[in-house]
Structures are given as C-alpha cells and as structure tokens.
Amino acid sequence: MGKDSKISIGLLGLGTIGSQVARVLLEQVDRMAQQVGRPVVLCRVAEIDQAKAQTSAVPAALITANAEELLTSPDVDIVLELIGGEHPALDYLTTAISQHKHVVTANKELMAKHGPTLISLAKRNEVHLLYEASVGGGIPIIGPLQKDLQANRITSIRAIINGTTNYILTRMSQEGLDFGTALSEAQASGYAEAHPSNDIEGFDAVYKLAILATLAFHTDVRVADIFREGISRLEARDFQYAKELGYAIKLLALARYKDDNLSLRVHPALVPQEDLIAKVDGVFNAIEINGDLVGPVLFHGQGAGPSPTCSAVVGDVLEIARGIVSGGSLIGLGAVKRNLHISPIEKLTSRYYMRLTVADRAGVLGQIANKLGTQDISIASVIQKNTNAVDQTAEIVVTTHPAAEAAMQEALAQLDGLDVLREVGNLIRIEGWS
C-alpha cells in the first residue's frame, strides 16, 4: 500500500449499530483523514436484508448481499463485523483474518466464546483484532485493561454491564413496579428486545464478564465457567425490604482472583446504598476494576445504544488505521498466559437475604433458626412483614452472617421439609467479598 493510498473499510451488517457506523464513516471522511493522515473510506457493505439496505444512507453501489465478496476482496483493509451472534459471524471473521484483513467487532457473544482462538489466529496472520465495543458500549474498558492497567495485578471486577436489566431494576426500585410491568415499559421504550431472555436471564452479562476476566486475569475464561442467575424472580417487595435494610438490588457481574483461584458469577445482589455502584441507575453501566497498584477504578457511562457503541467501533477503526499509516504495531491482543482454577459457586462465602412465607404461629422462627444452625448459618436479622389473616401466614425477611453457599443450599432443602414453611419467596446474595 502506497503512503498516499486510502484505507478501505468493509462493513458486515446494516442493523441499528451498523447503520450508525456507516453514517459516521460516510459523513466524517475529512475529519478522519486528518486524524489518520490518509483517507479512511467505506468501500463495501454486506447486508442480506433488502429492507435495511434500501433504508440506509449507504449508496446502493456499495452494498452487496454476498459477504464473501467483501471478505475476500483485495481492496478491503479493515472488516467491521456488526451482525452479532455466534454464526455466521465466526466463519466471517475467520475468513477475514485468514485473508490478512484487520478486524473490528462489537460481538460480545463471539468474543466470549471464541475470543482467544480468534486472537491467536490474528497474531499468526499478523493482523489486528479490536473489540472495544463488545463490553460497555462507549465506555472505554478493553483498551485500559490492555494498556493503562497492565502494570497492575487485577484482583477483582465488579460491574453492572447490562443496561436493559439495570433499567428494569431501577424502575422496580424507584416506582415500585412489578417485574412484568417494568419489562413491558423497557420494551416500549426500546431498551429491551421483544424476546429479552438474553438480558433478563443474565446471558449478556456472562458474555461480557468472560471477555473482561480473560483480559484482566490473563486466562481463558469460558462462558460455562461463570455462575448465572437472572432477575425474573425479583418482586417489588424485595426492593422495598432491601431499601429498609439499607441496600439497593443490582444485577452484578463479579470476578475475584485470590490464591490462584478465580471466582466468576452473574446474579442479583444486595449492595449497600452508600456504595457508588448502587447509585448507577437506568441504562447506565459501571465497571469497577481493582488493581494492586491503582486500587479501585470505576468506569461509568452509557453501556449500550447506537451512538455509544458506534463511538467505540469507529475508535477501533481509527486506531488500526493509524497503525497502518505509521507502520507500527498496536497494543498486545491480550494473550492468555496462564490457567487458573475456577472456583465453583458452592465454594462461595456470602451473606444472604431470604424472604419466606410461613405459618403465622408460635415457634416458627425457632424451627427456621434450628435448620439454619445445623448448617452453621448464623442469623443477622429477622423482620416480620405482611400477615395474611385469611391464610394464617406471615412473611419474614431473614439476613445472615457470612455462610458457605453449599451450606445455604442444604439449609434451603431442609427448610423445604418444614410444615410451617409455605414458600421461599427469594434468596439473594448480599454483595461483599469475604
């Protein structure tokens, strides 16, 4: 490539994000040329959906329905993958990298499941694979883990990394909405998909945590390594009781490294109200990284949406383009350097919040305390809430001192055998490393 030649971009996908990226690439040609020192030009777009192709701002002459045409073209220097999902994205990126093309992707599922493999392939082909937009939308987090924080031994990650669930939980907390109503409101506002299980059951957060943990701890974290619970069991009363106890409820992605063991989990958690991460509301995300040198660092901002994600994608494009022009190498791609033991959820020690419906009669608390005591679980507080005179039941909220997860699960099984127990309404971990 001559020093005055352009840098050509091929784009896969004209969905919400792809259309925004295409618009920026087409409208900001002069500004990007000034930043890079050479024209950066969108030269080809692959989109099989004719409706998306026809309604986009991309000239029809640039659009093809044949992705292979873009992937194998010698005129394309950088491929942007914005179609999402595992397949056919994996085949597309494998082809692009094998054709010695640089790649930018926003695909969290792909990078969570196949990131180390694709990174190794990129290294062998001496091309760059950047994926800042795969976690946190416009929040810069992948780059800092690869560059600014690399002198640190990362000890923990604590994050709110799904805007949909954070919006739902915020509405349930602030307005007292039930889960179904809050979800419907999120869908009507465009914050939740028509089929939202990927978000509300925690899969999206798991993908993102796998990416972050692989980078932070230099190990190959698999999606299956991460314990997962979604938010669909939460009820408005849980938020009310949590608030009375001094907590907020958040869907957290948590990773902790200690004694060559790595604990990885995504689940709802009670977080002290004075904690900064408890104050992250709406569709915003926050990622707290704790390093041995820098201490805790909090990254906060819009974690999703066309504009923030576009910001990260185009930023990666410009970084690769500047590298091409300068002839220099980019930052390391986050090589896996060690194999850490993944600690199972049963090994977790945590405090717990339990909401129970029980028979409204004397001696009930003693029976519950006895079952917990047999598993060495100490009660921190008990609050009696609603009483139903018709059913002759009462609702109680129990919090515990730190206890082993395995012991808590065994205690729940034993509680289930009590004739005074009508229902375990919820069990939520209280956030805090022990």
Give catalytic residue positions: 208
In whole angstroms, what is the distance from residue 111 CA to residue 143 CA?
A: 15
Quick check: 283 and 304 in contact, CB under 8 A?
yes
∠162-165-168 over CA atoms, to 5°?
A: 145
In whole angstroms, what is the distance from residue 331 CA to residue 323 CA?
A: 10
HSE of 99, CA atoms in CB hemisphere, 13 A: 20
Q: Which amino acid is at 388?
A: N
∠241-244-246 over CA atoms, to 5°?
A: 110
Nearest partner of 213 among 278, 261, 271, 247, judged by Cα:
261
| Token pair for 281 | 């509301």
In whole angstroms, what is the distance from residue 216 CA to residue 213 CA?
A: 5
Quick check: 399 and 352 in contact, CB under 8 A?
yes
By DSSP bridging, strand 78-81 and strand 63-64 are: unpaired
| Token pair for 422 | 């009508």
3-state secondary structure (DSSP) of residue 169: helix
